A and B are shown apart, each in its own frame.
Chain A
Amino acid sequence: MTALWVAVLVSALGCAALKQLGYVVPERVVAHLRVRAFVDVLPVALLSALIAVSTFATGTRLMLDSRAAGLLVAVALVALRAPFLVVVVAACAAAAGVHALVG
């Protein structure tokens, strides 16, 4: 089995198992304020790390390239409450445009 298949199956089964866990775990486990707070901030922390790395890194090198233009456009449009499709298409178009200009 290739690494991609392992990634697909393990992540799919793992995330599905987490959902099942929510229906069997005793309520007092999640009644702890710290558990709840951790689960609350986890997506924020991970998504922001993902944004930073997927925009400014290539492998183990920090880069400033056309993706930064895409990110700028995305942030501006999200701030203006544009629909998701507009945000993604405009960000891709900006990145493609800068890529074509700069090379």
Chain B
Amino acid sequence: MVGRVARFAGGDAPPSDGAAARAARRRVRGRALAIGLSVTPFAVSFGAVSVATGLSLLQTCLLSLLLFSGASQFALVSILGAGGSLGSALAPTLLLGVRNALYGVSVRRLLGLPGWLRPVAAQVTIDESTAMALSETSSGLSAYAFWMTALSVYVLWNAATLIGALVGRGLGSLSTAGLDAAGPAAFVALLAPRVRVVSMRVVALVGAGVALLCVPVLPAGSPILLGGGVAALLAVVRR
């Protein structure tokens, strides 16, 4: 499906386009597909953990269709699964989605969209589509890269979520299957590329430390918001 739509979009190119331009678009499509495939293990894990946490198949799939942001989705089911209240689960989930708003500000000029397409673009403005759009500014293929990546990730993310949810139904309780370690492992994989510099490592340690100190004295779930919030605020004030 990705390939067919890609060819269709490629056909929109002006007739003066040569073989080099076609090759450039083919390269972008290949990268978009690879990125889509690379997120599928994350979606499968999310689907399995979500269902094992107690969300229904429908609820799990709706999160991938509507929320469509891996870190937020995993945070929500992880906190709910650990017995966190509604409010304590929602706050970190929404805060993890704040970066997508900043991505929108960065890519919207590159896309040059008519008004009616903006809500569609916004819904698929995530880490992957933004990174691809920004990396293709010199080739002039930013918009093409954005849409191909968005399409590839959206389709594969949702298909993989469904597969994971079906797998999760077959697994027993979170603990015996070791699935309670899937959340932390997924978060480590998401965190790693963001803590290459020392200052970010300090933020991470403060966030984890404050959160753990709060565990015995605050309701379940809220230590995450407090640890994360304190660490982020300290990092900004210190500058």
Contacts and interface: CB of A to CB of B under 8 A. Distances in A.
Question: Majority SS of interface residues in chain B?
Answer: helix
B200 A11 contact: no
Interface residues of A, number: 75
B173 to A, nearest CB: 10
Interface of A: 3-16, 18-23, 25, 27, 30, 33-34, 36-39, 41-62, 66-67, 69-71, 73-75, 78-79, 83-85, 87-88, 91-97, 99-100
B interface, size bucket: 35 or more
Interface of B: 38, 41-42, 45, 54-56, 59, 62-63, 66-69, 71-72, 75-76, 78-80, 82-83, 86, 89-90, 92-105, 108, 118-119, 121-123, 125-126, 175-192, 194-195, 200, 203-212, 215-220, 223-233, 235-236, 239
A11 B207 contact: no
Query: Looking at A4, A48, A83, A100, which has the most chain B CB atoms within 10 Å of its CB?
Result: A48
A95 B180 contact: yes
Contacts of A14: 90, 93-94, 97
Nearest to B210: A49
Given A22-B101, A38-B236, A61-B215, A95 B223 contact: no
Nearest to B181: A70
Nearest to A52: B208
Contact of A57 (B93, B103, B223, B225): B223
Given A41-B235, A100-B176, 12 more contacts: A11-B67, A11-B90, A12-B66, A19-B126, A38-B233, A45-B207, A54-B78, A56-B215, A69-B181, A79-B192, A91-B184, A92-B182
B224 A22 contact: no
Given A16-B123, A59-B82, A84-B42, A42 B98 contact: yes
Given A37-B236, A45-B227, A95-B178, A12 B62 contact: yes
A53 B183 CA distance: 11
Given A53-B223, A74-B181, A95-B178, A7 B189 contact: no
